[in-house]
Chain A
Amino acid sequence: QVQLQESGPGLVKPSQTLSLTCTVSGASISKGGYYWGWIRQPAGKGLEWIGRIYASGSTNYSPSLKSRVTISGDSSKNVISLKVSSVSAADTAVYYCARTMTGHNDAMDVWGQGTPVIVSS
């Protein structure tokens, strides 16, 4: 059974860098057939796709966040990391990591529980 668990600081100061980790169990992030990505959701609002990484290390990012976002993977620890630089209050949200199945229309079939992040001084 594949499980994803997000972790990281729940409070980040404006202009600093938000760093989150997604620990994957039950599957290897270095095995092909899946993307591993991040999605966020401000309180009471919709879902915003942030970006994803493939087993090969190739990445895709949301055009609106591309200049501030980095997603990386560590196959030795089986974790995916997200960094968002120069954060502001607009980056306050629940952050989810999710697995995308390339063989099923790129649908996101497994999600972490989400971790809330507040940007405030």
Chain B
Amino acid sequence: DIQMTQSPSSLSAPVGDRVTITCRTSQNIFNYVNWYQQKPGKAPYLLIYAASSVQSGVPARFSGSGSGTEFTLTIDSLQLDDFATYFCQESFSNTPTFGGGTKVEI
């Protein structure tokens, strides 16, 4: 299995801040990383696919970068609606795995 190490597990930031979440993988997976947002009691929501492509309808303050074994999700100017848990996911293998999640709090 490909291991996904996501950090930090939680962070606290004020509205307007820039937030960065990182995922490191146990092997080179090129750009096969996707990012999801999940709010309490709701299903995950796709934000970024192929490491840096923004899903249709997702606000421009969300961006992704990275390749190989290190990937980053950045939220520019954090909004109240962004307080949630974020997960990375590798899609390089036929049995995808998720990172442990990052809870973004005020």
Q: Mark A44-70, 1 if CB is under 8 A from B, else 0.
A: 001111000000000011110000000
Cβ of B100 under 8 Å from chain A: yes
Chain A residues within 8 Å of B100, by CB? 46
* B54 CB → nearest A CB, Å: 11
Cβ of A119 under 8 Å from chain B: no
Assess whether B50 is in contact with A49, with CB atoms less than 8 Å apart. no
Chain A residues within 8 Å of B46, by CB? 107-109
Chain B residues within 8 Å of A98, by CB? 43
The answer to whether A96 and B95 touch (CB under 8 A), given A46-B101, A47-B87, is no
Cβ of B98 under 8 Å from chain A: yes
Assess whether B91 is in contact with A111, with CB atoms less than 8 Å apart. no
Assess whether B91 is in contact with A106, with CB atoms less than 8 Å apart. yes
Chain B residues within 8 Å of A101, by CB? 49
Assess whether B44 is in contact with A111, with CB atoms less than 8 Å apart. yes
Q: Is the interface of B mostly helix, strand, loop or mixed?
A: loop
The answer to whether A96 and B49 touch (CB under 8 A), given A62-B95, A63-B95, is no
Bound Cα distance A113, B36 (Å) = 15
Cβ of A105 under 8 Å from chain B: yes
Assess whether B96 is in contact with A49, with CB atoms less than 8 Å apart. yes
| Size of the chain B interface, CB-CB below 8 angstroms | 27
Q: Mark B54-70, 1 if CB is under 8 A from A, else 0.
A: 01000000000000000
| B54-106 at interface with A (beta carbon < 8 Å) | 55, 87, 89, 91, 94-101
Assess whether B55 is in contact with A109, with CB atoms less than 8 Å apart. yes
For this complex, 17 residue pairs linking A to B, each with C-beta atoms less than 8 Å apart, are A46-B87, A47-B101, A49-B98, A61-B95, A63-B1, A96-B44, A101-B49, A105-B32, A105-B50, A105-B51, A106-B34, A107-B49, A107-B50, A107-B89, A108-B34, A109-B49, A109-B55
Binding site for A on B (CB under 8 A): 1, 31-34, 36, 42-46, 49-51, 53, 55, 87, 89, 91, 94-101
Closest 3 CB pairs of A and B: A107-B49, A106-B91, A111-B43
